[in-house]
Amino acid sequence: MSGGAIGLLALRLRSNLRLTGRVFAASLAANLLGLASSFYTMLVLNRYVTHGVDSTLAALTVGVVLSIAFEHLFRHVRLRIAGRIGRAEHERLSTGAFGILLTARSGAESAESDAARREAVRAAEQIDAAFGSANLATLFDLPFALGFILVVALISWPLAAICVLFTILSIGAGLLAQTDMRAVGRDLAQAGANAQSLVTSAIVGRDAVALFGGAKPLLGDWQAAAKALRTLRERMSMRQGRAQSAAQSLQALQGVAVIATGAVLVVRGELDVGSLIGVNLLVGRALAPFTRLAQVGESWAMARQAQARLEQFARTAVEAPTGTTLPRYTGTLELRDLTYTPPGSVTPLLRRLNLTVPAGNILALKGRNGSGKTTLIRLIAGLADPQEGAVLADGVEIRKFAPSWWRQQIGLLPQEPTFLNRTIRDNLLLANPRLSDTELHALLHRAGADRAVADCAQGLDTPLRNFGHELPVGHRRRLALARALAVGGRLILLDEPTDGLDSEGTAVVYRTLIELARTGHTVVIASHDPRILQGASLVLDLDHPQDTVRAEPGLVMS
């Protein structure tokens, strides 16, 4: 077990001293009772067989049966208590890791792959599993295993020496086996991840696979991945089998050595037969915890690796929980020398943008695909941070705002809306908990989503699945528009709001924009729709050279 794993274990035990003491007490009682079987054997062979008194045999048998029953009880109690050690620490680590995932600043989370972030969140579970009740029980049995060796030494020091020798050999063999399996385990984990990636491709890209000839190459990739997995599993199974065989062989050799040496001692008159058989039972008990220790050592090493991943993940930049707020946001927006380079890119997507949008104006963003329209909306929403320059609201840089406050000022309709896997009502109320049922239905009507919700069997209480992607794209976008309006903010951000909508849905968007303009909302809208571009009060063309991006006056939508 590595020093890091020992440190983690010591921290858990120190932080739960009361429970640790109770586990130790239960271990003491269980292991003392465990001596009964060996002494029973010695006494039966030395007393009953010699004298043949049936009452002695009955008394000894009843006593050992009770001892075995109480030993089982104490071991069961120990497992229950040990399971509570580290529970609070696990909940803290697990909640903290998921909290980081939820609040990581955009750009910070892009530094790691999705797989790395999943592994970091799973790290708390891996640590908790490594220090589970069964593994802790093994640890608490170790000092008592040494106690069994001491008892053997009191009976016969040559047999105790044999026990010590085979204990050392068992530990060494176990550590070598774990080292042998570690590399295969890493390859097996990677092969499993590759196979899961192919499964994801087959599910997510099902239509593309079916329509554009992807089935044959994907099937070939799957066969190769399945073959690699099977080969690695066979290698792992072989190594595990060799480790088990080695442990069994050492245990058998220890029995042979004890019996052979003990037989010589019996012949010399230095040991009796009952003691020899009892000692053979004791050395088996002494060896068992050390054999299990080698088996759980790898899980403890993995716990240290998981802790390292968790510590690295904990350094992820997260959103500040507090910040500046304004008594009232009027809706003024300003881009000042705004420059943004996507993660992994060396070329800025947006360079030194300067623009002021007065409160109550409609700013339309136009440009080819990939010109940065969606990115600019994300920057304004605070979902991404510029490398240079700033976005200001009423003269204050939005990065200084408390994130929760700023998001209450924004209604966002993304290009690809997603929802939480909760009911439609929940998704709207999470945007604004103050809304009544009457107001919810008015919002749905305003966004043209009322008929879509009415068609659902449970109406507002219909649960959404797969993040809302089971809904038709038009229904999903109308529902997302209702959610954006539900926030009640002065700034509305719309990314291609007419995309995927029929003429009726497009008319709803136009009507909504007119209503927002008349009520003094500031609107930023990315769109290729000519009518929207013509009706905007400002148009920002992102296809122009980045250092000369211009705002062009348009006509206020009416």
Q: Does the pLDDT of residue 6 top 80, yes or no?
A: no
- The whole-number average pLDDT for the span 348-358 is 90
Q: Answer for the pair 313, 100: CB distance below 8 angstroms, yes or no.
A: yes
Question: What is the domain partition of the chain in residue ranges?
Answer: 3-314, 333-553
The CATH number assigned to the domain with range 333-553 reads 3.40.50.300
The answer, yes or no, to whether residue 107 has pLDDT greater than 70, is no
Strand 333-340 relative to strand 388-393, pairing: antiparallel
Fold of 3-314: ABC transporter transmembrane region fold (1.20.1560)
| pLDDT level of residue 113 (50, 70, 90 thresholds) | low
Per-residue pLDDT averaged across 481-490, rounded?
A: 92
| pTM (two decimals) | 0.73
Q: How far apart are CA 451 and CA 509, in angstroms?
A: 16
Element (H, E) at 454: helix 450-454
Integer Rg of the chain from CA: 35
- The residues that bridge with 539 in the sheet, in sequence order, are 364, 552
Task: State residue 378 phi and psi, 5-degree precision.
Answer: -65, -35
Question: Please, what is the average pLDDT of the chain?
Answer: 84
| C-alpha pair distances (Å), 453 with each of 3, 204, 351 | 58, 26, 42
Highest mean pLDDT among 117-131, 218-232, 238-252: 218-232
pLDDT for 114 equals 66
Please check the confidence at residue 298 and state whether its pLDDT lies above 80: no
pLDDT band at 494 (very low <50, low <70, confident <90, very high): very high
Q: What is the pLDDT of residue 5?
A: 61
User: 126 vs 99, 302, 435, CA distance in Å?
Assistant: 18, 8, 42
Whole-number pLDDT of residue 8 = 73
Q: What are phi and psi of 186, to 5 degrees?
A: -65, -45
The per-residue pLDDT for 551 is 46
Cα–Cα dist 378/340, whole Å: 11
- 320's CB contacts (< 8 A; 6+ apart) are 402, 403
User: Pick the residue with more confidence: 3 or 159?
Assistant: 159
- What percent of the chain has a predicted confidence (pLDDT) above 90? 27
More confident residue, 316 or 550: 316
Q: How confident is the model at residue 61 (pLDDT cuts 50, 70, 90)?
A: very high
Range with lowest mean pLDDT among 20-34, 99-113, 502-516: 99-113
pLDDT one-digit tens code per residue, 176-209? 877 777 777 778 777 877 887 788 778 767 767 7
